[in-house]
Structure 1
Amino acid sequence: MPEKSPSVSLVGSGPDAAPAGPAAGRHVPGRWRQLSVLSPTVLTDNSESSIVSTLFAAMRQPLGMSLSHLGLLQALSRVVGAVFGPLWVAAARRAGRRSVLVGTGLWMGVWLAACGLSQGFPQLLTCYLLAAVGAAAGQPIVHDIVADLFDEGSRGRAIGAMYGGVTLLGAVIGPLMAQLAEAPGGWRTGFYVVGALCVLAALLVLFLFRDPGAGASETTAPAARDTAGAFSRQTLRRLFGIRTFGLMVVQRLLSGHLLVATFAIVFLTERGFSTATAALVAIPSGIGYLLGSVAGGLVTDRVHRASPEHGRVWLLQALQLLYAGLAFLGTQFAWPGIGAYLLFFGLMAAVQGANPGVNRPIVMAVTPPDLRGPAFAVLISVAEALAYALFNLGAGALGDALGLQTVFLWVLVILMLLNAAFCGLLHRTYPRDVARVRDGEV
């Protein structure tokens, strides 16, 4: 049954919930407080993948793992996410978004803790993939809610603040997890800690979050549609009838920087640094991502106000080009000390951190409220997950054969240049699709 609160009806949660009424206006009361409650859910979803990358060097020998095993672990978890992400969004339509976030958070916490009991790679893989089932729910549902909390003119700031805060906390947790790698069996404790954090995040949502309702930030009432089947053929037909959305799905498939989260620390250990030293990259990366997220969100909203039809697209292209240049300098030269790597990886993270504050508002702007949940399930749970899976599988296999430097050249540099060129197609579709949503034609 969908959860109820005395003053809020949960909209978009199925036949037992109250139907969506007219939007309450552009300003949703308590929206920043609600965003802060949701942010730990995004943090724990990200921790599900980062904990393995951080502790891989310590797990490698006890569990008999290679780079290919790491790539396989991360890739299969994303495939699981691609399957279950849309299913969780559909479940949220029926059972309520809060109920799904709480249930999947608890599930993820239990299975991540179970990873710490693994005695071999098959056991680790099994527990990790079961945890990935729960992790698939967080991001598409949270982004759907953020679009309901914040209006068109402030979504860049909201997304930037959320990702910035999440990454800052991750930058603190990452090095602490790496220090555990230095102790015998410390990687097991790392999984226990992250599992406990997942449970805590779920409890925060249970006791403190109140769903604003679909379309709460819109100035006009969303069109009434049958949304019980979140992923019916009609829904997917409407989604991919939005040309900008189809282009954004392909753009995410070309986003090579998704690879860095898995292999950055491994890359630095191959450069001769210890795991603890290599893990220091999480600090400038976290600070860079924080600054990039916050600044990127602010710049996105300003650019959007200055050029509503093309500003976000120009900014998205510029970020891909800048990332390719920084990745070339940071990964294709053998710098004498860790300092240069910390600088370049921090700058790369800043550029990467600015991306969600641009691409998420683009998708929100071209999709009506009833399509945003499915849209983010397709974009994040399917497109990003499949891209991540393909990059990790390829990088794991090619990294063993050719070395990560060569892999990084093709994925972080060349592919990102192609990404920037591809984004140019959005200049033709984005203004038209925004107008269609505004006029109720989607």
Structure 2
Amino acid sequence: MKLWKRNLIVCWFGMFVTGIGMSQIAPVLPLYIQHLGIKDTAFIAQLSGIAFGVTFIISAIFSPIWGHAADKFGRKPMLLRASLGMAVIISCMGFASNVYVLIGLRLLQGVITGYGTACTTLIATQTDKENAGYALGTLSTANITGSLLGPTIGGFVGETFGLQNVFFITGGMMLIAFITTALFVKESFNRQDSKVLSVKEVWGIVPEKGLTVTLFITFFILSVAMYSVEPIVTIYVSQLSSEMSHVALMAGITFSASGFANILAAPRLGRLSDKIGAHKVMLVCLIIAGIIFIPQAFVKNTWQLMGLRFLLGLTAGGLNPSVNILVKKITPTSITGRVFGFSMSAAYLGVFAGSVLGGQVAGHLGVKYVFFVTSILLLINAVLVYLKVYKKVNIKQY
């Protein structure tokens, strides 16, 4: 087996588990906080929001830092650091004595993350040009799918095996990711520059600043779009379903439908990006995704919503890989880790912003308006990509 394929398999598993670890707490968090002694419903909601959001905010801050460390010391050491650190920290959540310890551990989880940044950088720099789109497309399915399936997995494990075991099982999976990374990931790393560069100095090296910013914005909006429905999907399914006893299960399947579609589509669209250009795939998928959000507001039953979420996942499979391919092509090798770190920061901020946006829009305007607002964001982003990415890449032919 070729080295890049072996690295891809190991990194895919690690990013998948990391995605689960970042998101599996969502459905069990309010119940676990109640288990830790908080009884007031309003206070539980407030603490749940803090505990869920703090991980992504802190991850956005530290992702560029770990990206720089990956450029300086190598990507494999960062993979080992992040996987082992998350294995320990997530397992400790199962032993939390009170809610403030839990929030503190969630904060530490945000600090220690960086597995995804290191994986993306490793695959981008170690894979030959002819297979870069396929490799990055396949890799992108891992974190997205793990994040989308995480709430369903967390809810199932919590209901079947107990709330604390959600953390123990996830920690155990991260430990397996650490062991497989240590044994099977091989990296040919040449330190490009040992000098510690400031953000301003890194930005000065970036050759295509406008294009890079547009790609960051695109990554942010994509994350907002994928997570805007997370706060309201259970409510929406309950409005559509006559069988109230199965709402949680139906909501989980509905939310995960896009993740399953993403697994199917991303590698194939990555291959297509290698052939016709990532900028073309990204623009078309953005437009289709923006359109698909609109009919989700008019569905009559849960099965229609599932079908549209599945179609959305197919289009999403061509978006994140396209961003990563273009970032790789326009970024000097010596700062690839730092730039991918900034890209991941945009994604983490998008996850947090999407969750907040969905809840606020649903609370003030109604659930259906979440889909309209998200559609508008994606279509505006499509116009921005056409003007700032598509035309420029067509001219320069990256």
Query: Matches of 1:133 and 1:113 in 2, distance apart?
Result: 16
- The answer as to 2:333 corresponding to 1:360 is no
Q: Aligned to 2:317, what secondary structure does the other structure show?
A: helix
Q: 1:182: which partner in 2?
A: 159
TM-score in terms of structure 2 length: 0.85
Matching of residues 320-331 of structure 1 within 5 Å: 320-330=286-296
SS at match of 1:416: helix
Instruction: Describe the superposition over 1:348-406 as per-residue Cα deviations: whole angstroms up to 9, x where unpaired.
Output: 122112212211101111112112111101111x2222232233334344444444432
Do 1:108 and 1:131's aligned partners in 2 also have CA atoms closer than 8 Å? yes
- Pick closer, same or farther for the CA change 1:415–1:68 going to 2, 3 Å: farther
Residues 429 and 84 (structure 1 numbering): CA distance in 2 closer, same or farther, change over 3 Å?
Answer: same
Q: Which residue pairs with 2:28 in the alignment?
A: 55
- Partner residue in 2 for 1:415: 377
Shift of 1:205: 0.9
Q: CA deviation at 1:282?
A: 5.0
Q: TM-score, normalised by structure 1?
A: 0.78
Superposed counterparts of 1:229-308, under 5 Å: 229-239=196-206, 241-255=208-222, 256-260=224-228, 262-263=230-231, 265-268=233-236, 270-271=238-239, 274-281=247-254, 283-304=256-277
- Residue identity opposite 1:328 in structure 2: I
- Residue type at the aligned position of 2:128: D
Aligned position for 1:98: 76
Q: Which has the higher helix share?
A: 2
Q: Could you tell me whether the CA contact under 8 Å between 1:44 and 1:198 is conserved in 2?
A: yes
Q: CA deviation at 1:270?
A: 4.6
> Which residue number corresponds to residue 318 of structure 1?
284
Alpha-carbon deviations, 1:240-285, whole Å to 9, x = none?
A: 7533112212222333324247436434455355222321225533
Query: How has the CA–CA distance of structure 1 residues 324 and 58 changed in structure 2, closer, same or farther, with 3 Å as cutoff?
Result: farther
- 1:25-44 aligned at under 5 Å gives the runs 29-44=2-17
Provide the secondary structure at the position in 2 that maps to 1:354: coil
Match of 2:174 in 1: 198
Per-residue deviation, 1:142: 1.2
Query: Is contact 1:35-1:162 (8 Å) kept?
Result: yes
| Residues 1:434 and 1:142: Cα distance change in structure 2 (over 3 Å) | farther
Separation in 2 of the partners of 1:225 and 1:165? 28
Amino acid at match of 2:216: V
Cα separation, 1, equivalents of 2:199 and 2:290: 38
In structure 2, do the counterparts of structure 1 residues 229 and 253 end up closer, same or farther at CA, with 3 Å as the change threshold?
same
CA distance in 2, matches of 1:391, 1:174: 16
| Matches of 1:318 and 1:277, distance apart in 2 | 30
Moved more, 205-214 or 90-99: 90-99
Q: Aligned Cα RMSD in Å?
A: 3.0
Q: Which of 122, 126, 137 is the equivalent residue of 1:160?
A: 137
Q: For the Cα contact (< 8 Å) 1:67–1:396, is it kept in 2?
A: no
In structure 2, the CA distance between the partners of 1:168 and 1:249, relative to structure 1 (3 Å rule), is closer
Task: For structure 2, list consecutive stretches of 5 or more residues without a partner in the other structure.
Answer: none
Moved more, 419-428 or 63-72: 63-72
Of 328, 333, 344, the residue aligned with 1:369 is: 333
- Which residue of structure 1 aligns with residue 94 of structure 2? 116
TM-superposed deviation, 1:334: 4.6
Count the aligned residue pairs. Answer: 386
Q: Aligned partners of 2:199, 2:172: CA distance in 1, in Å?
A: 36
The corresponding residue for 1:25 is none
Between 162-171 and 267-276, the greater mean CA deviation after superposition: 162-171
Structure 2: distance between partners of 1:146 and 1:321:
28
Q: Secondary structure at the match of 1:78?
A: helix
Shift of 1:421: 0.7
Secondary structure of the equivalent of 2:130?
coil
Partner amino acid for 1:413?
Answer: S
1:359 and 1:322 map into 2 onto residues whose CA distance is: 17
Which runs of 5 or more structure 1 residues have no equivalent in the other structure? 1-27, 215-223, 305-311, 436-442
| Maintained 8 Å contact 1:251/1:419 | yes
Mean alpha-carbon deviation: is it higher for 161-170 or for 238-247? 161-170
Cα distance, 1:86–1:395 mapped onto 2, change above 3 Å: same
Cα distance in 2 between the residues matched to 1:139 and 1:203: 17
Aligned AA for 1:155? A
Amino acid of the structure 2 residue aligned with 1:316: M
